[in-house]
Amino acid sequence: MVAQFLGLKLRLLGNLFRRSPWQVFGMVVGLLYGLGAAFACVVGLVALRLADVELARSIVVVAGSLIVLGFLVVPLVFGADDTIDPRKFSLLGIPNGRLAAGLAAAAFIGVPALVLMIIAAAQVVTWSRSGPAAAFAVVSAVLLVVTGILGARVTTTVATLLLATRRAREATGLIALVVLSALSPLIAAMVTVDWQKQGLAVLHSIADVAAWTPLGAVWAAPALAAAGEMGPATGALAIAVGFVVLLWLAWRGLIAVMLVSPERVSRTRAYTGLGWFARLPATPAGAIAARSLSYWGRDPRYRSALVIVPIVPAVMIGALTIAGVPLHLLVLLPVPVMCFFLAWSTVHNDVAYDNTAVWLHVAANTDGRADRLGRVVPPLALGIIVIAVGTPLSAWAFGSADVVPSILGVSLCTLLVGLGLSSVISAGFPYPAVHPGDSPFAQPQSSAGAASWVQGLSLLGVLAVTAPTVFLAILGIAEGGGWHIAALLVGTATGIAALWGGIWLGGLVFDKRGPELLAFTAKY
């Protein structure tokens, strides 16, 4: 039975080379890339044969843990093309145990398995310093390959079972984005380390922890044996064996579930009533505002932008805290930063988000000012809520209510100026965006230059216009007095003027460039 699965996998791989020349070229490049990465690891592992045992152990355990983590996480986060889906064998009556063994054996045929086998063999060379260490290294090499491949099969099957719908994949992408953002302070902390003086100590500390996890135990066992610590080496090997057993049991359980679970499909939601259209005025601006509110609530492109809003200030506070900025000053940042990203993250390219649907506005001869006003309603409403909730919390964390006017002034100025400037930018300088219905993480049809200079222009514009208000707020924090009230008055006046001017000017640009905007959305 296992031989049949192996033969099936080999035939499937052979059929890959019967595709178009460009697809074959891509597969060859991927194979060469994998082999090149494996060769680089082999060179490093062979060179570590001559290094100190403690240094070699730390490098191998840390790097090896990342390799195992990659085999486990990449299929779960990004999904994988499961060429041999267990559900394809559900009608053949194969016992679960035999099917699990056959599919697991077939997974050892492929580029990732080949790369991992090469690396596992190379680490035997690293630890061939004594007979016991070499024996541990051989056993660890086998366990390493089984751990990586079986772990990838488990996470790939989980992704196939749970992430079959686009909505689930988008949710997973958002979660991954949140996790990566949460790790930013850790990355900032690593950057601040003086690696020339403290690098080895930090590396050894990380390795000491990773060595007793399922990710690093399989790499640490031969290293501990090479250092003469046979008891700890046996314990690390036991952890590695136990992890393989757990992966096998999980794989068997997933096979049993997959054989009786149909493929998931997206559920179609049924909406009743007019929603926001029944709640807002029956005017052009009201209709556009209702449509925009519906977009912000249902479109994953807008939801992904909203996820970023609370993450950015958290990351900034973490990084600046590590840099030594006092925490009682950093608590004043979240509300203005969140207002800035609410106003800037999507509205400055809102027309491109509409794609070809913008023809409705052009064909109906919609007043450009009504279009601009309706589009700013969702971020304006959310921004007011953020300011109302966040301002007293920031003042409480700062320890004084005197800063409330400054927080209000800077936040309102940032929000209104960002919306006003974005109203002009989105009509005058749109750039290709992710199409409606596509994943918010898909690559838009755009050159990086157009998007970067438009985003940079809008960013610098908001910072320049809000700079006087920020300066007054800083004076208020430093000297007190009437500077806080001045920041509130100047910020509010500047924001209202910028929003009104942006809607007016953006409306003129939209009226004048309607055909060009329609041609742009049709092209991209």
DSSP 481-511: TTHHHHHHHHHHHHHHHHHHHHHHHHHHHHH
Spatial CA neighbour of 436 closest among 377, 360, 352: 352
Q: Is 264 contained in some domain?
A: no
CA distances from 414 to 144, 335, 417 (A): 53, 10, 5
Q: Is the model's pLDDT at 264 over the cut of 80?
A: no
Surface-to-core class of residue 277, CB atoms within 10 Å of its CB (0-12 exposed, 13-18 middle, 19+ buried): middle
Q: Note whether 18 and 138 are same-domain residues.
A: yes
Confidence bin at 501 (pLDDT 50/70/90)? very high
The per-residue pLDDT for 447 is 46
* Three-state DSSP class for residue 1: coil
Domain range enclosing 93? 2-259
The per-residue pLDDT for 413 is 92
Pick 89 or 196 by higher pLDDT. 89
Helix runs in 193-344, H state only: 195-210, 217-226, 230-259, 276-279, 284-298, 300-323, 327-330, 334-344
CA-based Rg of the chain, rounded to a whole angstrom? Answer: 29
Q: Which of 191, 226, 259 is the last residue of a domain?
A: 259
Report residue 218 CA to chain centroid gap: 29
Q: Note whether 216 and 311 are same-domain residues.
A: no
Q: Note whether 251 and 319 are same-domain residues.
A: no
**Cβ neighbours, 10 Å, residue 284:** 18
Average pLDDT, the chain: 78
Structure tokens at 440: 């918010």
Spatial CA neighbour of 429 closest among 412, 445, 451: 451
The per-residue pLDDT for 453 is 64
Length of the chain: 524
Are 290 and 277 spatial neighbours (Cβ–Cβ below 8 Å)?
yes
Spatial CA neighbour of 151 closest among 52, 250, 298, 239: 250
Pick 171 or 502 by higher pLDDT. 502
Q: Is the model's pLDDT at 326 over the cut of 70?
A: yes
Which pLDDT tens digit goes with each residue over 231-252?
A: 888 988 899 999 999 998 988 8
Spatial CA neighbour of 477 closest among 415, 387, 414, 404: 404
Mean pLDDT over 432-449 rounds to 59
Which pLDDT tens digit goes with each residue over 66-84?
A: 888 888 887 776 555 566 7
Q: Is the model's pLDDT at 442 over the cut of 60?
A: no
**Cβ neighbours, 10 Å, residue 344:** 25
Q: Is 360 contained in some domain?
A: yes
State the DSSP string of 103-160: HHHHTTSSHHHHHHHHHHHHHHHHTTTSHHHHHHHHHHHHHHHHHHHHHHHHHHHHHH
Confidence bin at 158 (pLDDT 50/70/90)? confident
**Into how many domains does the chain fold?**
2
Q: Note whether 290 and 236 are same-domain residues.
A: no
Mean pLDDT over 187-198 rounds to 53
Q: Note whether 226 and 348 are same-domain residues.
A: no
Which pLDDT tens digit goes with each residue over 446-468?
A: 544 455 666 677 778 888 899 99
Confidence bin at 359 (pLDDT 50/70/90)? confident
Q: Is 266 contained in some domain?
A: no
Q: Note whether 287 and 255 are same-domain residues.
A: no
Eight-state DSSP code of residue 282: S
The per-residue pLDDT for 489 is 92
Which pLDDT tens digit goes with each residue over 370-395?
A: 888 888 898 899 999 999 998 998 88
Q: Which of 197, 225, 259 is the last residue of a domain?
A: 259
Q: Note whether 480 and 364 are same-domain residues.
A: yes
Q: Note whether 140 and 82 are same-domain residues.
A: yes
Q: Is 454 contained in some domain?
A: yes
End-to-end CA distance of the chain: 51
CA distance 420 to 422: 5
The per-residue pLDDT for 252 is 85
Structure tokens at 227: 């250092």
CA distance 255 to 219: 29
Q: Is 490 contained in some domain?
A: yes
Q: Note whether 223 and 294 are same-domain residues.
A: no
Report residue 430 CA to chain centroid gap: 25
Q: Is 220 contained in some domain?
A: yes
Q: Is 267 contained in some domain?
A: no
Lowest mean pLDDT among 196-200, 203-207, 355-359, 410-414: 196-200
Q: Give the start-end residues of each E strand in 247-303.
A: none
Eight-state DSSP code of residue 439: -
Mean pLDDT over 361-368 rounds to 81
Q: Note whether 226 and 368 are same-domain residues.
A: no
Are 350 and 343 spatial neighbours (Cβ–Cβ below 8 Å)?
no
Maximum Cα–Cα distance across the chain: 84
Structure tokens at 429: 């300088």
Q: Note whether 239 and 338 are same-domain residues.
A: no
pLDDT above 70 covers what percent of the chain?
77
Q: Note whether 338 and 235 are same-domain residues.
A: no
